[in-house]
Structure 1
Amino acid sequence: MSKVNQLFDSELNIVNLGLESFSKELKSQKKKVVHVDWRPVAGGNKKLAALLEKLS
């Protein structure tokens, strides 16, 4: 068995970043998952993120 197949045959501990629906789907399959409600700084706006960085 390849190492990739071995990985997916083992019990996974999953950290989900962003889409909560993905973690809900995993939970419905009885997988161990922790959801992190992450979003890019300033909604992904690079100019605003740079300005916020200067404040810190």
Structure 2
Amino acid sequence: MIADLFARELRVINCGLEGFAQELEQLAVPVIHVEWSPPAGGDPRKAALLAALEDEDA
């Protein structure tokens, strides 16, 4: 099964840094770029507050 992966055309979904997608495009690798950033911008305190709000909604 793993060997099959290397026999197929590489296709990539890039989440986050657009520079990675641009590098792959320059190498003619099919890539889809998805804008993504961690919840609360990576701030652990804000992420905890958001998680608490989500728990209240459940």
TM-score by length of structure 2 reads: 0.72
For 2:10, the equivalent position in structure 1 comes to: 12
Aligned identity (percent) is 42
Q: Which has the higher strand share?
A: 1
Gaps of 5+ in 1: none
TM-score by length of structure 1 reads: 0.74
State the Cα deviation string for residues 1-43 of structure 1 (Å, max 9, x = none): x828x61x52011011111011011111111101111111111
Moved over 4 A (4+): none
CA RMSD of aligned residues (A): 2.0
Gaps of 5+ in 2: none
